[in-house]
Amino acid sequence: MWANVVTNRRWVWPLFALLVIGTVVFAVLWMSGVVHPVTGIANAAGFAICAIGLAAWHLATRGLQR
């Protein structure tokens, strides 16, 4: 089911927009000290945001690369 949602082109940009909003919220929490940068959870979340963002960008621009 998740693969169908991700590969369906109409869902790519909303997912990417949601990811950008999540990234901004994470950055604000990080800089305000709510999410401590030393914890493994914060580091894992940061890497996950980057990985999902790159995947969403790749899916969104896949048709433009051909």
Residue span of the structural domain in which 8 resides: 2-65
Residue 2 confidence (pLDDT) above 60: no
Number of domains in the chain: 1
pLDDT digits (tens, 9 = 90+) for 11-66: 777 777 877 887 788 778 777 777 776 666 777 777 877 787 777 777 777 766 55
pLDDT on residue 8: 61
The set of residues, in sequence order, having a beta carbon less than 8 Å from that of 63 and lying 6+ positions away, is: 9
Q: What is the pTM of this model?
A: 0.49
Tell me the angle at which helices 9-32 and 40-61 cross, rounded to the nearest 10 degrees. Answer: 150
CB-neighbour burial class of residue 56 (10 A; exposed 0-12, middle 13-18, buried 19+): buried
- What is residue 64's DSSP assignment? G
pLDDT on residue 18: 78
The amino acid that residue 41 corresponds to is I
Nearest-5° Cα angle at 53, 48 to 56: 125
